[in-house]
Amino acid sequence: MHPNPVLLVIAHGSRDPRHAATVHALVRRVRSLRPGLRVETGFLDFNVPSVHGVLESLAAEGVRDVVALPLLLTRAFHAKADIPAVLREAPFRLRIRQADVLGPSPLLLHALDRRLYEAGLAPADKSSTGVVLASAGSTDPEAIAVIADIAREWRHTGWCAVRPAFASASLPRTEDAVRELRAAGCARVAVAPYVLAPGFLPDRIARGAAEADVLAGVLGPAPEVARVVVDRYDQARLPRLTALGA
């Protein structure tokens, strides 16, 4: 019986020590969901171990199969260019499959709800609360469109209104979306960071939430996020059906 592929979680990395600490907390939760699965963590920048370093170590141990999972919420530049480039430099004896990014997923909407409730809202507040879905931002039109789609889908779960906002590269900014929801007549306004870990851009989102009534925490090691990681791993490791065989 062949062992399961090693799961390599690929995180962006940050000079902010909270970032790596949050990534490691999420990976611990993933391990708790799938005992026996080997899960490693590699960073693209700023933190160690690097993705390349982890891959070299795995190859030296004799590992053959790896599922590389981008710890990203949208398919933007890092998922399309940076990560494939790093994986192409891996030792040739490794068989690597790149898993899909985490979002979009209904589980992530549940995680967003969880963080808002932890910040003080209740399910009964939904119909009178406008929410800013605040993401890091991207120059990739596909990623921006996905955030807008998620906002529309989340609105249909009962919130008064949901507006997307971005910390960089795109508009509107968090503070502008907060004011728009106030002007639209929402009784209260909440900001939900659609980001995985603390850092420079999440801090910018927090500053933009100064006029909001509620600021949720980052998604971090929410149970739902860990479940998405496991789901993406399973999707990547299972044999892919061809169009003719499906």
Q: Where are the alpha helices (DSSP H) in the chain?
A: 17-33, 51-61, 77, 83-88, 106-118, 141-155, 174-183, 200-208, 223-237
- Note the pLDDT of residue 240: 54
Buried b / exposed e over 193-225, threshold 16 CB at 10 Å, is: bbbbbbbebbebbbebbeebbbbbbbbbbbebb
The per-residue pLDDT for 245 is 37
% of the chain at pLDDT higher than 90 = 91
Half-sphere exposure of 3 (CA within 13 A, CB side): 12
Segment among 14-28, 39-53, 112-126, 230-244 with least mean pLDDT: 230-244
Q: What is the pLDDT of residues 118-141, one digit of tens each?
A: 999 999 999 999 999 999 999 999
- 35-63 average pLDDT score: 97
Its pTM stands at: 0.94
